[in-house]
Amino acid sequence: MWFAMDIKKTRRVSKSVGIALLTGMFGVQLAHAGKWLPLNKDGLHDRRSPGLELLQSPQDALGSLPTDTAGNKVNWSRAMDERLIKPRGALAGDKKVQILDLNIVMTDTAGHPNVLFPHKVHTQWLDCANCHESLFKSKTGATPVTMGSILRGEHCGVCHGAVAFPLTECRRCHLLPQEG
């Protein structure tokens, strides 16, 4: 049984797991490296649908934005920072949105680089209420976040892997090297 393995062996196994992961990710990135598919090839849109030709293609909308290797193949944070896109924060009027510039370091990472959670990037898109108090407590370390819960689509995984950059991008979250 795997949980009866001695520590050394477990370490070795998890190292090869790491390598396998990296290879897998490389494959995924290759698969995503091509251009965006036209809508009539995306497997969702009905080619016979009369409205289809009026819709914008992803290539047309996303082609000029800063590129990325995963997800929409757009670096949305950069697109926002460089003001290449200016998504509105309210339906009407100039309601002031609340931006919070506060980084949270999350250290329960089993020897992986620590996680840096930037409030700033998130509050440029989201309200506090999208995360607090339903997904996260407003107290560092108070929410039991694990990679398992994230992969199940909870916590960070509500958005990442669905709409925000996917979970294969380990290093974007696990950003801070640990000493030792």
Partner 1 sequence: MQDTNHRTILRLLPVVVLLLVASAAVRAEFGDIVLNNVSEQEGMRPVIFQHWFHRIRFQCRVCHNELKFEMRVGATQVTMDQISQGRFCGACHNGEIAWTVENCDLCHTGKPGLTTRIQGGHQTKGPGIW
Question: What residues contact 75, with CB distance under 8 A and at least 6 apart?
Answer: 65, 66, 67, 68
Give the position of tokens 């090869």.
16
Residue 131 class from Cβ within 10 Å (0-12 exposed, 13-18 middle, 19+ buried)? buried
172: enclosing H helix or E strand? helix 170-173
- The encoded tokens of residue 110 equal 């089993």
Stretch that binds partner 1, among 99-107, 126-134, 136-144, 172-180 (CB under 8 A): 126-134
Give the position of tokens 């036209």.
38
CB 104 within 8 A of CB 140: yes
Establish how many alpha carbons lie within 13 A of residue 163's alpha carbon, considering only the half-sphere containing its beta carbon.
Answer: 5
Considering only 66, 113, 118, 153, the residue that binds partner 1 (CB under 8 A) is 153
Q: Which residues pair with 116 in a beta bridge?
A: 105
Considering only 33, 35, 49, 103, the residue that binds partner 1 (CB under 8 A) is 49
How far apart are CB 87 and ligand HEC at their closest, in Å? 7
With CB under 6 A, what is the number of residues at the site for ligand HEC? 57
User: What residues make contact with ligand HEC under the rule CB under 6 A?
Assistant: 55-56, 71, 76-77, 98, 100, 104, 106-110, 112, 115, 117-119, 121-123, 125-126, 128, 130-132, 135-143, 145-148, 150, 155-156, 158-160, 162-165, 167-170, 172-174
User: What residues make contact with partner 1 under the rule CB under 8 A?
Assistant: 2-3, 7, 10-11, 13-14, 17, 21, 24-25, 27-28, 31-32, 36-37, 41-46, 49-52, 54-56, 58, 61-62, 71-74, 76, 85, 87-91, 97, 110-111, 124-127, 129-130, 146-148, 151-154, 157-159, 161-163, 166-168
